[in-house]
Amino acid sequence: MFEFSPEAGLWGLFFAAFVSATLLPGGAEVVLVAQLHQHPESLWLALAVATAGNTLGGLTSYLVGRLVPNKGKVNPKAMATLHRFGYWALLFSWVPLFGDALCLAAGWLRLNPLLALPLYALGKLARLAAVAGGWTWFQQSVLPLLG
């Protein structure tokens, strides 16, 4: 595995989290696990950085949605979910591909960004915390058994 400083890892994590929350492909979870493997003491800071990057990436998709004319096409499943569950659907903005479409649709529907942003953050934090917790458990419980 590559060696990197905690600071470089956090910058890389922010960038990966940001990109993976836009319409571009990314792998924030892999970078989060790499950061925690190299620097386990950075758990809480890494979660905060990844959540901030992921949330800002979702907000970027929201802003792109605001630029799409109302006559444009937006993912019909995302639209149906937003119509059915309203703002609460944005808790699922972490779901790969579908979550990006939710953020885009929220912008297209002109949902209030001050209400959308905390829901983006909460959903993304929950997923990233699950990844970090899973890795921490694996590293502490399974890896020692493997030698």
| Tokens representing residue 61 in the block | 């998709």
For 87-112, what is each residue's pLDDT tens digit?
A: 999 999 888 778 888 999 899 888 99
Are the C-beta atoms of 10 and 41 separated by less than 8 Å? Answer: no
**Could you tell me the residue ranges of all domains in the chain?**
6-146
One-letter amino acid at 82 equals L
Q: Which three-class secondary structure state does DSSP give residue 3? A: coil
Torsion of CA 9, 99, 136, 145, to 10 degrees: -110
Which pLDDT score is estimated for 143? 78
Of 13, 17, 14, give the one whose Cα is nearest residue 25: 17
* pLDDT category of residue 56 using cuts at 50, 70 and 90: very high
Q: What is the pLDDT of residues 21-39, one digit of tens each?
A: 887 777 899 999 999 999 9
Contacts of 47 (CB under 8 A, 6+ apart): 125, 128, 129, 132
